[in-house]
Homo-oligomer: A and B are copies of this chain.
Amino acid sequence: MGEKESKKWVLMATARSPTNIAVIKYWGKRDETLILPVNDSISVTLDPSHLSATTTVAVSPSFDRDRMWLNGKEILLSGGRYQSCLREIRRRAEDVKDEERGICIKREDWEGLHVHIASFNNFPTAAGLASSAAGFACLVFALAKLMNVKEETTELSSVARQGSGSACRSLYGGFVKWAMGNKEDGSDSIAVQLANETHWEDLVILIAVVSSRQKETSSTTGMRESVETSSLLQYRSQVVVPRRLIQMEEAIKKRDFPSFAKLTCADSNQFHAVCLDTSPPIFYMNDTSHRHVQLCFLVHRTSYTYDAGPNAVLIAPNRKVAHLLLQRMLFYFPPPSEKELDSYVLGDTSILQEAGLHSRKDIEALLPPAEVKTNAPPQKYTGDINYFICTRLGGGPVLLSGDDQALLNAETGLPK
């Protein structure tokens, strides 16, 4: 084969990675470049069929530079975070040989080969649902498969961490701990799985995506400002979180929902308290978020947690409680008139069916909950929620085989 001919091959790998939501929060870095946190954190991985990133990475001698497309739009790869991930994975790359296709890449060749990356989220990127966690986890996982990286998932987590801190927790399903580590080079700041997604299958997760008009502080900026100005952050990270971490691991191990819920809510509250203790104060929760919290306290044994935005992630101990929760949420936050129920409640809609909610009419017919005073029409907040997602715990990243699942064309290496 001539050189021109041999240049034609494109080698690809496609993966899907879940997003995750922290129940013991990560807020504050001790090293901004390596992304090393000021405390350990614990998350639950969400079912990737409802919330995930899919990423195809490709390599070819015909590529003249590294390129990336996010949700169909080309973006610049010059950012330090992408560069860190690419560098760290290339450093760990091994030989790849495909005699049939005439592909033979030596580990030392990777340095000179360019990659194409295409990534797609099955949920809105701007919705504040940790799209960067799923995205970087997926990128690192796919690149590691493509480049035949032999290292353990835990090792990969320290690479994903350099893309987006919480991405390291998206490399496992179920319950995941990100240990802050102590080393200066960050090599021990890694994610470990506490229990897989089958450990506690009863849990039901309901996400309320809030219609927010306000631009939020990015979590990178917010964290930096909290570290610099909050007098409570250090106390939280050094005294409160270590104590809570032990209790949370125990609660997860024993499937002790009351303890799990109490810790989850308390830690979400405290993270937002630290944001408020920052100068200028950071307000991620808005009036709608406040209302959700108040409703959670009315629905027996429901846990809530909020990330860097107004969206609520509600965790119910079982489907029965989830039905009550969903009914109450839809009573107060009914779909706006132009929206059908199937574009207002997404994900595992079997919960909706089980709760007897088959149409808009069923929602309109919901009786006022006990807290509504009978002598006044209940206050409703139509339009304050964009949509709900019903979901559950899910597994870690998986490799998707077959070119039809790839986001890049197998011949050209360009987006399909």
Name A's B-contacting residues (CB within 8 A).
213, 229, 231-232, 235-236, 239-240, 262, 265-266, 269-270, 272-274, 276-281, 283, 285-287, 290, 293-294, 297, 379
Contacts and interface: CB of A to CB of B under 8 A. Distances in A.
Contact of A279 (B265, B281, B283, B285): B265
A231 to B, nearest CB: 5
Contact of A293 (B262, B265, B274, B281): B281
Given A232-B236, A286-B290, A287-B286, A269 B262 contact: no
A279 B269 contact: yes
Contact of A269 (B269, B276, B294): B276
Contacts of A266: 229, 231, 277, 279
Nearest to A290: B283
A373 to B, nearest CB: 11
B269 A293 contact: no
9 contacts: A229-B266, A231-B266, A231-B270, A232-B273, A235-B235, A266-B279, A280-B293, A280-B294, A283-B290
The CB with the most chain B CB atoms within 10 A, among A232, A272, A279, A294, is that of A232
Contacts of A281: 269, 272, 293
* A229, A231, A290 interface centre (most CB from chain B within 10 Å): A231
A277 B266 CA distance: 7
Contacts of A278: 269
Contacts of A279: 262, 265-266, 269
Contacts of A379: 213
A256 B415 CA distance: 60
A286 B290 CA distance: 9
A276 to B, nearest CB: 4
A232 B238 CA distance: 12
